Amino acid sequence: MSPLADRLASGRFTITSELSPVRGASAEAMQERGRLLAGWVDAVNLTDNQGAHVRMSSLACALAARDAGLEPIMQMTCRDRNRIALQSDLLGAASVGLRNLVFMTGDHPKFGDHPGAKPVFDLDSVTMLWTARTMRDEGRLLSGKELKPPPSGLFLGAVENPFAPPEEFRAARAAKKIAAGAQFIQTQYVFDVPVFGKWVAALRHEGLTSRCFILAGVGVVRSARALDFIASGRVPGVTVPTDVQRRLRAAGEGHVEREGLRLAAEVIGQVRQIAGVAGVHLLTAGYEKRVPELLELAGVADGRGPGAAAQGIAPAVPAAGA
């Protein structure tokens, strides 16, 4: 299994981070940004044309991140490829030693920079998870044809939004993905910790947090303009409670970023105390250089830093209550 899977299985508080691919053909640019996170986080997500905007491929970026000393998580989006291409890319990733994969259905192209693009959606995140698990565990394609060798050792992930209506189906959606094969789930931004806690409790009640590791999505709101954008509903699946909006706006012009940093640190501290939460997933959005400050403010930076990366040792941050 991957180092990420081993760390999560050990029960240590785990930190993953988004690392958005560049809009260009430079592996060096990806590595330069990735080195800002080396030693501070346990793995990085290389997004797959996030928000339906064209970027360098997730596969190429995952290889670049690995060359920079990071543990990559390759994202695969069903929006752009049919089942033939998705299975082919999965085999390609496994062949070069990429073990961590996250599957998502994907935003519609109308939200991106090519709104006239034809969406595929041949599979969705649930059926893709089932497909990947079948390829790994049974050694066969969706067509039934045998794989020699199969893509063994894959660590399969999904994304989830604990705040999407209707409320009664929030946990059920995650349960479907876990049943299909998800071994870890990274969530959308968590601004409302009590609601997130109820979602985790529902999964825990069904015994699902012992089968799948939950990583709470945390990000820093950096400006009033960013807050307006996030709160407007233009970021699919993100909800910002009114009291959080008031708090950030009350900080005043030029101070929203600092207050947003404090808020994100508080969220990390709070979700860490929720039974069934294995760690956090940082939604950095180009904020890599401030990740060390965020982790220090949240009190989870012990044992982390460039020194840990240089030694090739996964930093040991004990789980809450350990």
Q: What is the pLDDT of residues 45-88, one digit of tens each?
A: 999 888 888 888 999 999 999 999 999 999 999 999 999 999 99
Report the interhelical angle of 242-250 vs 224-231 (nearest 10°): 170
- pLDDT higher than 80, residue 126: yes
Q: What percent of the chain has pLDDT over 90?
A: 71
Q: Quickly count: other Cβ atoms within 10 Å of residue 12's Cβ.
A: 20
Question: Could you give the 3-state DSSP secondary structure of residue 54?
Answer: coil
Q: Give CA separation, 230 vs 23, 68, 227, 234, in Å.
A: 22, 31, 5, 6
**What is the pLDDT at residue 167?**
82
Q: What percent of the chain has pLDDT over 70?
A: 94
Q: How far apart are CA 32 and CA 23, in angstroms?
A: 14
- pLDDT higher than 60, residue 317: no
Q: For all residues of the chain together, what is the average pLDDT?
A: 90
* DSSP annotation of 239: -
Residue whose token pair is 């209550």: 321
DSSP labels for 133-198? HHHHHT-B-TTS-B-SS--TT-EEEEEE-TTPSPGGGHHHHHHHHHHHT-SEEEEEE---HHHHHH
Banded pLDDT at 258 (limits 50, 70, 90) = very high
What is the residue extent of each domain of the chain? 3-221+258-311
**What is the pLDDT at residue 321?**
34
Per-residue model confidence as pLDDT tens digits over 215-234? 999 999 999 998 998 888 77
Fold that domain 3-221+258-311 belongs to in CATH: TIM Barrel (3.20.20)
